[in-house]
Structure 1
Amino acid sequence: MTRPLALGIDIGGTNTKYGIVNRRGEIVTKGSMPTTGHATAHEYVNALRDQLQPLIDEAGHGNITGVGIGAPNGNFFTGEIAFAPNLPWRGVIPLAKMLNEALHLPCTLTNDANAATIGEMMYGAAKGMNDFVLVTLGTGLGSGFVANGKLIYGHDGFAGELGHLIAVRDGRMCGCGRRGCLETYCSATGIVLTAKEWLAQRNDATVLREHAGHLTSHMIHEAAEQGDAFALELFEFTGKILGQTLADVMVITSPEAFIFFGGLARAGELLLAPTRRHMENNMLNVFKNKVAFILSALPDADAAILGASALVW
């Protein structure tokens, strides 16, 4: 008797993680390999096949229902990665087709934030929810919008890019080529940029000043937990921009919850308290006090694999 299993693959700018997952969201086996170091996408796919084939053979090819892939700029409709700025290959890459031919398994691809959203629906905090927004606060800011129980892809597969709403008009330059995108302020990278700007402009006494050359969002989190006034102000500022933007998001899909995931979200109420306050202060009256703030229930280390595998089901 076959056991229904899914192969989940998460393609990051530095590493690719993969794992075989059962219907209960349990990872049977997993591994990783560098995404970089392959001159072409074809060489990368061949190297990935060589890593995956022993896992597939061990699980039994007939037990694998399919392959789910989460990738930057992944398009669910076409199965292509289109002009991903943080991957080493340029242009449009038909990755789902390439992996289908390499593994002889049906492959489904979407962008990494959408994969995380589907994983949250199937295995995590969004079980049973029909209307929510997942916000991933990592190096960038990703998101997935679910309305009426369905992930919103839009007509071209690229809907729901919360990180590229303009949060500050004529603000910081974003990697997408526009100015003031939300992720340039409210991601792990964004809060570090704010800290460096303030340290250069101001004379605050803060433990962060000694780390100015190699500052991380985790250092800011630790300093804020220790009561550092400068670090606490950084979270207040970041939460203000994020909260004001989420107040605008409310009028589009009226979600029952915002679910937060990623490194910066681990700051918990240091970030979420000011975010909630500024959101409610800027909310249209009809939406006030209706939306929940929830931290992701998926384990950080395995969330990307689980999210990708959920595409299969």
Structure 2
Amino acid sequence: MTMSKPYVVGIDIGGTNTVFGIVDARGTIIASGSIKTQKYNQVEDYVTDLYTELSRLLEQENATDKIMGIGVGAPNGNYFNGTIEFAPNLPWKGVIPLAQMLSDRFGIPVSLTNDANAAAIGEMTYGAARGLKDFIMITLGTGVGSGIVINGQLVYGHDGFAGELGHVIIRRTNGRLCGCGRTGCLEAYTSATGVARTAREFLEIRKDDSLLRQIPIQDITSKDVYDAAVKGDKLASEIFDYTGTILGEAFADFVAFSSPKAIILFGGLAKSGDLIMKPICESMERNMLAIYKGKVKVMLSELKESDAAVLGASALGWEAK
């Protein structure tokens, strides 16, 4: 890392917004901005506007010629090819050579990976996983993503798509339909969307009182479930127990695969504290193979949610070639 280029740029591409920031070696975001991903039906128009906005930010910070590299976190991002491939939540279909398009514009090396991998790299570079060589990052958001680090290396697999733990099937019979088209995936139960689905199921099957009954059933969000649970709502607490138990079962299996020192949770649901952590840890230990019992910590991310995706993506920028 030559000090002539003290900064990197991190770009996080979400289904709704794209957030970008200029980051220094300590993981401080010097300046940031965003554009609306949804607005662009043509990826070329998107890249043009992203270039314009980011160039403006770099000029403003007097950093135009001080950028070592650009890192991008994107849904279905392929690290090997620098492509976004068949991302269901983005307006552009098929295979998009985004890293190439950006490096052509900026004349700077660009590295791209999927968003959960970017979060794992961010955690390892700037957060709770500093100094950890073996850990699994689980992102609990609209979906469930994962980044697996073994011996200090992110696992990419032969094609760049390794580590889709959100799509491990945890219910073989009568599983819920998942957004990926299969049934019974972890994501269908333990994402923010999955928690809302559980709430609707519980409310329909059961008769007991709950604050959640004051909300139109189709409008209930995971945040509503959290708010009710905090107020002591029994049904809402049970929804967290149910969700945490399923996560714990899945984590016990993940541990058998890579024997991580820690599983680090990131995203909105992770912020529910003991409501989710207690059932996760109890269920994980209960289902764990004896040789792993008591060895694996479940931890919360140390990166601020609003910054984590940009920081994770930016960490790739130091290595971009």
- Aligned residue runs from structure 1 range 233-312, under 5 A: 233-312=238-317
- The whole-number CA distance in structure 2 between the counterparts of 1:37 and 1:220 is 31
* Equivalent residue number for residue 195 of structure 1: 199
Of stretches 208-217 and 66-75 in structure 1, the one that deviates more from structure 2 is 208-217
* Equivalent residue number for residue 29 of structure 2: 27
* Equivalent residue number for residue 57 of structure 1: 59
**Counterpart residue identity of residue 120, structure 1:** E
- The whole-number CA distance in structure 2 between the counterparts of 1:42 and 1:29 is 25
- The whole-number CA distance in structure 2 between the counterparts of 1:3 and 1:74 is 26
**Counterpart residue identity of residue 221, structure 2:** T
**Counterpart residue identity of residue 133, structure 2:** N
- Aligned residue runs from structure 1 range 161-172, under 5 A: 161-170=164-173, 171-172=175-176
- The whole-number CA distance in structure 2 between the counterparts of 1:80 and 1:198 is 41
- The whole-number CA distance in structure 2 between the counterparts of 1:264 and 1:35 is 24
- The whole-number CA distance in structure 2 between the counterparts of 1:304 and 1:93 is 20
Check whether the contact 1:2–1:62 (CA below 8 A) recurs between aligned residues.
Answer: no
Q: Percent identity?
A: 55
- The whole-number CA distance in structure 1 between the counterparts of 2:36 and 2:262 is 35
Of stretches 109-118 and 48-57 in structure 1, the one that deviates more from structure 2 is 48-57
SS of 1:259 mapped into structure 2: strand
* Residues 1:129 and 2:127 are matched in the alignment: no
* Residues 1:140 and 2:120 are matched in the alignment: no
CA RMSD for the aligned pairs? 1.0
* Residues 1:178 and 2:182 are matched in the alignment: yes
SS of 1:193 mapped into structure 2: helix
- The whole-number CA distance in structure 2 between the counterparts of 1:18 and 1:85 is 22
* Residues 1:152 and 2:155 are matched in the alignment: yes
Render the CA deviation track for 1:64-121: whole Å, top value 9, x for unaligned.
Answer: 0010000000000000000000001110000000111111111000000000100000
Q: Structure 1 regions of 5+ residues with no counterpart?
A: none
Of stretches 235-244 and 9-18 in structure 1, the one that deviates more from structure 2 is 235-244
Question: How many residue pairs align between the two structures?
Answer: 313
Of stretches 52-61 and 257-266 in structure 1, the one that deviates more from structure 2 is 52-61
Give 1:3 shift: 4.3
Check whether the contact 2:55–2:64 (CA below 8 A) recurs between aligned residues.
Answer: no
Give 1:56 shift: 2.4
**Counterpart residue identity of residue 287, structure 1:** Y
* Residues 1:204 and 2:208 are matched in the alignment: yes
Give 1:240 shift: 1.1
Give 1:269 shift: 1.1
* TM-score of the aligned structures, taking structure 1 as reference length: 0.98
**Counterpart residue identity of residue 43, structure 1:** D
- The whole-number CA distance in structure 2 between the counterparts of 1:203 and 1:95 is 51
Q: Structure 2 regions of 5+ residues with no counterpart?
A: none
- The whole-number CA distance in structure 2 between the counterparts of 1:277 and 1:162 is 20
Check whether the contact 2:137–2:266 (CA below 8 A) recurs between aligned residues.
Answer: yes
* Equivalent residue number for residue 232 of structure 1: 237
* Equivalent residue number for residue 9 of structure 2: 7
- The whole-number CA distance in structure 2 between the counterparts of 1:269 and 1:143 is 21
SS of 1:101 mapped into structure 2: helix
